[in-house]
Chain A
């Protein structure tokens, strides 16, 4: 079962840096796994913890969040708030038994197409090894 398992990874990318970084990865023809589904948000500060929890609930095996490097935020300080909030969220998820490798936050600038591809490769490989995520996933007794 495990070798054929293709994880679903949801990525929230900030419009100004990381989404452009992902775009650059595409334009530069960097290869990265197709397991990641991208949601564009205006700023990583837009990410509410409930987005992450809901993603896991709806069956995401991993969640990736990427934003501008601290200091580079288009809105000057959005990602500083993100940093505090998501650091704590990560600790909380780990406390309730979710493997920290399933939840990643990275700073990816518009010029870091290669880094984007590497990050996606890394999380996909990690999650592939971990197998399907069931700790927060919605249960369906009929299936």
Chain B
């Protein structure tokens, strides 16, 4: 499909054409941008570097009911609700879109996760290239670009009064049906302008780290004193993992109310002691140093070992929101400078 432009004031008309789709878009509530269901895309808030909470929850909700059970008096078990309606997810940043490809590897790994699969299959992702990245963004260091189209079905770029629209996949074509008057063919000027905006956005990313060699270096630093020093100020909250677009750990618990109940899957974080504590009471990761180390190792060593990709997309949320200013980019730089620990 050719590149197109969509006038911003036509956003609402386009939304109307998308009947049959549930629209989810970034919305601002008390200065907090999160993805929420909206009636019309013209209500979406577009002046954000990135949402506070990543859009991963559309596919991997914080609370997912797996099944429920009931005894009345015979036992009845029913499966949890899957996403059956079609969803159009609007305004996803390229880093978050890339994170979904990383999550795919995990959720489609040894056995396919049916809840995740269904949500992924039924969702069209319309991305919005970054025009003014946040000062903590570092996507270019981990293989991303502020205008990358990986993981997206449609990529839009804000050109001021209009969007530059690129259709990436078949799924994307379905939501941008031609012929209609909404989407006009892009001119070469539009394209030049888009390239300028892309270039400017990329140049605005000032946080960099060379991740080359981090994987091997980490292997040498498992027993390093460095982690104890680094974790001294960590308070052990779950902000870094809950806001991370690639963190995917979950916990499964039962909720019961006498004769009925349900089994739920909820986000978990490796930064709390309960994450690893055994039924016996023994905890293999007893200290903050073990937990902080694990998070870095998982992203930059264990995950690449298994899936061949770093589990970090450089969105910078964990840096911006850490209560005590622990900066993953700084950590990686320090890791590279550490001396190897031999027995």
Contacts and interface: CB of A to CB of B under 8 A. Distances in A.
Interface of A: 58, 141-142
B68 A142 contact: yes
B257 A141 contact: no
B81 interface: yes
Interface in B262-293: none
A70 B136 CA distance: 59
Nearest to B78: A142
B64 to A, nearest CB: 11
Contacts of A141: 81
Contacts of B65: 142
5 contacts: A58-B257, A141-B81, A142-B65, A142-B68, A142-B81
B301 to A, nearest CB: 39
B198 to A, nearest CB: 41
A142 B68 CA distance: 10
Nearest to B260: A140
Nearest to A141: B81
A58 B65 CA distance: 18
A30 B331 CA distance: 72
Interface in B28-78: 65, 68
5 nearest CB pairs, A to B: A142-B68, A58-B257, A142-B81, A141-B81, A142-B65
A142 B65 CA distance: 10
Interface of B: 65, 68, 81, 257
A141 B68 CA distance: 12
A107 to B, nearest CB: 32
A117 B156 CA distance: 68
Contacts of A142: 65, 68, 81
A141 B65 CA distance: 10
B55 to A, nearest CB: 20
Nearest to A59: B257
A47 B257 CA distance: 21
A21 B257 CA distance: 31
A49 B81 CA distance: 34
A137 to B, nearest CB: 12
Contacts of B257: 58
A58 B257 CA distance: 9
Nearest to B68: A142
Contacts of A58: 257
A58 B255 CA distance: 12
Contacts of B81: 141-142
A61 to B, nearest CB: 17
A125 to B, nearest CB: 28
A141 B63 CA distance: 12
B157 to A, nearest CB: 37
Nearest to B63: A141
A141 B80 CA distance: 11
B282 to A, nearest CB: 28
A105 to B, nearest CB: 26
A35 to B, nearest CB: 19
B226 to A, nearest CB: 41
A74 B257 CA distance: 34
A141 B257 CA distance: 16
B293 to A, nearest CB: 35
Nearest to B257: A58
Nearest to B255: A138
Contacts of B68: 142
A111 to B, nearest CB: 36
A59 to B, nearest CB: 9
A50 B81 CA distance: 31
A5 B235 CA distance: 48
A121 to B, nearest CB: 29
A138 to B, nearest CB: 9
A142 B67 CA distance: 11
A142 B70 CA distance: 13
A15 B317 CA distance: 54
A142 B63 CA distance: 14
